[in-house]
Structure 1
Amino acid sequence: MKKHIFCLATALCMVPALAQAQSADWPSKPIRLIVPFPAGGPTDLVAREAANILREEFKQTVIVDNKPGGNGTLGHAVLAKSPADGYTIGLLVITVAIAPHLGNAPFDTFKDFAPISNMVSMTPIVVANNNAPFNTLAELASQAKASPGKLAFGTPGVATVPHLAAELFQMQSGTQLNHIPYKGATQQIQDLIGGSTQLDFQSSLVVAMPQIKAERIKALAVLSDQRSPQLPNVPTAKESGYPGLVVSPWFGLGAPAGTPADIVQKMHGAIAKGLGSKEVQDRFAAIGASVHPNKSPAEFSAYIKSEFERWGKVIKAANIKAE
C-alpha cells in the first residue's frame, strides 16, 4: 500500500516538471490558428498576418483553419473546446463581447479563453447616397427627427457592429431610423448606390472606400477614435458632436483557457514585436485598420470585459434579438 502511495505522490510531483518541459520545448510542432469567419475577408487577412508573425518568430508552421458559422460563434466554440497545449490558438474578436448578450453563444467569454493580445481594429464608417439631403451627422439627425422611423439605413445584419453603432447613434441623437439588415456589405452598398436606401453603416473601409473614391457615395463620418489616413477629409463622429460614438470592431488573438501562461506570454511578445513593424502596419492601413497591441494579456482581458459590458447595455436598451 505504501509503495502505491509513494508511486502516486512521485507521479503527481512530476506533473509540473513535465508541463514545464513541454513549455520549454514549445513550439515543437505546427500551430493551428482558428479563424471564426470565411477565407478572403478582412478577418482572414488579420489571421494570416498573425500567422506570418508567429511563423517568423518561432520558425514553426502555422496553419490557418477557417471555421465560419453563427456570425463567428462557431469558430470561437471550436477554440474554446480545443486542447490547452499552445498548439491551437485563434482569433478572439468582438463577437465574444456581443454574442453572449443575444443568448446564442456556445462559449463562456470569461471562462473558456486565455486572451493573448488585441491586434487591430477596423474603421467603421457612415455613408450615404449621393442624393441624400444630408452631408453630416448633424444634418442626418435633423432629417431623421423630421420623419421619425422613415429614414432607412442598411447594415450587414442584425447585431453586427454596424447595427450596434447605428443603435448607439439613435440613442445619442434622439432619433428613430428604419433598420434594413442585409446578409453582407456588398449588396448593402449596391442598394445604397442605386438609391434603395439613403444611409449605410459599414464595419470597415474595405467595401465603402473604393465607392467613395469613385464618388458613387458620400462619407458622413468615420466611427474610429481618429480620422483615417485613407480618408483624411472625413471627420470622426466624435468631431461631429457625438463623443460617445467611437466604435471599433477589434481582432485579437487568444488560446483555450488553461494554456500555460509562459506560452501565452511568448505569443504575446511575438505579436507585439510583429505589429511594431512598419511594413505590417502599412498593410493594415491599406484596408483601413490600425494596430492596437496590448501591453499584456491581462490588459487584453480587461479590455474584453469593458467591451462586454458596453455592448451588453446597448443590446438591452435597443432590445436587439438574435435572428
Structure 2
Amino acid sequence: MTAPHGINHGRRRLLIGGAAAATAATAGSAGLLLPGLARAADYPDRPITFICPWPVGGTADQSMRALCQVASGVLKQSIVVENRAGASGMIGTKALARAKPDGYTIGQVPISVTRFSQLGMLQLDPRSELTYLARTSGQTFGIAVPANSRFKSLKDVVAEAKAHPGKLTYAHAGIGGATHVGMEEFAQAAGVRFNAIAYKGGAQALQDVLAGQVDLLADSSSWAPHVEAGKLRLLATWGDQRTPRFKDTPTLKELGYNVVVEAPNGIGAPIGLDPAVEKKLRDAFRQAVASKEFQQVAARIDAPVMYLDGPEYKRYISTVYDQETHLIQRLKLKELLQQG
C-alpha cells in the first residue's frame, strides 16, 4: 500500500508507535497490566520454596519455620521449607543464589557469607549478588560440657588447655562457621589451643558431646533443654549480655575475653528480584518477625530479635564483610581451612 501524501514511512512508524503506547496506557488504566506488572500483581500465585541451609531441628531451622508459617498467612500462599545442609550453610546459599529471581525461591542467608566469600568457599560477592529481605534474629551461643565432666567452670577448661595444648576437643557446626570461628577467637584470647571437631550441623555435634565422645560443645542454644534437664553444664555464653533464661551463666566478655558472637539470621533471594515482589516479601517478613508466634519461638530458643528491613540489612552485610576481612587475617582462617 502506498503511504498517504505528506506522510513518509518514518513518520508513519512514529505514529504507529505512539498509538501503541497510548493503547498500553489505556489498558493499564483499565486494569489490564503489562505481562511483567501482571506477574507482580498476582504474586504469589503458587507455593514458595524456602531454602534453609541447616539440618532439620536446629535452632536456625526452628526459627525459619516459625517465620515462614506466619509469612505464608500474610502472603496467602504456602511456603515450603527445604533443608539443604552442608559446607557450614554454603550449599543452601549457593542454591539460593543460583535460583530464578522470580520470588518463588527465597531462603535464609547466614551472616557467614561475608566470611566464606572471602575464603573462596562461596563464589559470589554478598554485598552485590543477593537480594536482602530482612534480618530477623540473633543466636545465643555458648560452651557446654556433659554434667559429669570434670570441668566445673571455664577457668578449669583454660587451665587444662594450657597444660595440654591441642588435647581438649570441642564439637562445632562446621569449619569457618560462627561456632568454629567464635571458639577460635576465644582460644586466641585465652592463649590456648583446642582440637576442633567439625560436624555438618549442631544436632550431631550435640549428640556426640552428650555421649561423652567430645569434651566441649560450641553451639547455639541446642544445648539449652539439656542444660535445664541437668544433662549438660553451661560454662559461658557469647553474647554482649547474659541471656535471660541462663542469667547465672557469665559471658566470655565478663570473664575477661573480648569475644562477642551473635551471628544474626537473615532472609534473602537471588539478585534481580522484581521490586514489587521484593516489597511484598519484605512486608510479609516484617510482619512475621513482629508476630506473637515468632516472638514465642525466638524466646524458646534464646534467639534475640534483631530485625532490620532489607536495605538496612544489606548495609549491615557490607559492614560485617569489612570486619571479617580483619578477622580472617587475625585468626589465619585460610591456613585453618587448608589444615582441615
Which among 27, 33, 45 is matched to residue 50 of structure 2? 33
Gaps of 5+ in 2: 1-8
Give the distance between the partners of 1:47 and 1:228, measured in 2 at CA: 21
Give the distance between the partners of 1:25 and 1:130, measured in 2 at CA: 55
Aligned length: 318
Is residue 131–residue 269 contact of structure 2 (8 Å, CA) maintained in 1? yes
Query: Which residue number corresponds to residue 253 of structure 1?
Result: 267
Query: Which residue number corresponds to residue 105 of structure 1?
Result: 122
1:22 aligned onto 2:33: no
Query: Which residue number corresponds to residue 324 of structure 2?
Result: 311
Which AA in structure 2 matches 1:223?
W
Please, which moves more after superposition, 264-273 or 189-198?
Answer: 189-198
Query: Which residue number corresponds to residue 152 of structure 1?
Result: 169
Counting only pairs closer than 5 Å after superposition, residues 173-322 of structure 1 correspond to structure 2 as 173-193=190-210, 195-202=212-219, 204-206=220-222, 208-242=223-257, 244-294=258-308, 296-316=309-329, 317-318=331-332, 319-321=335-337
The verdict on how the C-alpha distance between 1:157 and 1:72 changes in structure 2, with shifts beyond 3 A counting, is closer
Is residue 32–residue 64 contact of structure 1 (8 Å, CA) maintained in 2? yes
Give the distance between the partners of 2:78 and 2:336, measured in 1 at CA: 41
Counting only pairs closer than 5 Å after superposition, residues 75-86 of structure 1 correspond to structure 2 as 75-86=92-103
- Per-residue CA deviation, residues 196-228 of structure 1 (Å, 9 max, x unaligned), is 4432212x222x223322333321111123322
Query: Which residue number corresponds to residue 42 of structure 1?
Result: 59
Deviation at 1:21, TM superposition (A): 4.4
Is residue 57–residue 203 contact of structure 2 (8 Å, CA) maintained in 1? no
Is residue 73–residue 106 contact of structure 1 (8 Å, CA) maintained in 2? no
The verdict on how the C-alpha distance between 1:44 and 1:183 changes in structure 2, with shifts beyond 3 A counting, is closer
The verdict on how the C-alpha distance between 1:74 and 1:129 changes in structure 2, with shifts beyond 3 A counting, is closer
Is residue 54–residue 271 contact of structure 1 (8 Å, CA) maintained in 2? yes
Which AA in structure 1 matches 2:302?
G
- Per-residue CA deviation, residues 82-106 of structure 1 (Å, 9 max, x unaligned), is 2222232211122422322332214
Aligned alpha-carbon RMSD (Å): 3.1
Give the distance between the partners of 1:69 and 1:180, measured in 2 at CA: 15
Query: Which residue number corresponds to residue 186 of structure 2?
Result: 169
Gaps of 5+ in 1: none
Query: Which residue number corresponds to residue 79 of structure 2?
Result: 62
Q: TM-score, normalised by structure 1?
A: 0.84
Identity of aligned residues (%): 31
Give the distance between the partners of 2:267 and 2:200, measured in 1 at CA: 26
Deviation at 1:35, TM superposition (A): 2.2
Give the distance between the partners of 2:46 and 2:200, measured in 1 at CA: 38
